Structure 1
Amino acid sequence: MAKYENWIPIFSSGTDYEADIVRDRLDDSGIPAVVLTQRDHAFNLNVSDLAEVNVLVPPDHAESAREILETKLTDAELEEAALAADPNAPDAHDPDDEARLDSGYDRTDLSVPDEDDDNDNA
């Protein structure tokens, strides 16, 4: 998480898909953005602080990101984007990677420690 430590939250939602849409819109505009979810996916909660999903951007892009999100897309722009989308495009991630990324545990090592590691802590 150190890479994103100073990034600023510019959007908050109770659902992953809304945050993903915001992240994609910022990314399409050239602004790096990440989704940080605090949702408890085991219980599929989608209310209160237990379900908060944030979109974060680097501090030097925060103002531009807010301006983009405040700009409403016209029906013509939405239609153009929909028609330009490739319905046969492959998924960005395989299902296992997608689940791991959504859970926030993409860097967690759940393997059993070596015996040497156990002896070092004793």
Structure 2
Amino acid sequence: MLLLPAPRSNGSITFPTFDYYLFNVIWNVPSEKCKALTDTNLLENNSIIVNDGHKFLGNAIVVFYEEHFGLYPYYRSYSDTKLAVNGGIPQRANISAHLSVVRNNISKHIPDPNFNGLAVIDYE
């Protein structure tokens, strides 16, 4: 896990300042059903940053995984080279096609041009 200092925001998300907090905790679990059932503010009461409505994709954080971000080359199984996706390795990937799909993915999952949350690319 990598924790980066969050800049102070002038937009809709207010990150806690570093005068008090050493780091920010950002919750990215689709807990909207739990929130509806319990009606608690456990995350917010502990200064944990969470998307509005506790949604998985939202205004505070959006995480892109390899299956949903461009045409990222990877292997479904590291032990079987026949299971290559999008060429398997960057040298075999089509970078132009990848970037075109990336643009579409970003527009779809972050439609607000003033988005000031975190966008994370999670490739494993």
Range class of TM-score, shorter chain: under 0.3
Higher helix share: 1
TM-score w.r.t. the length of structure 1 is 0.21
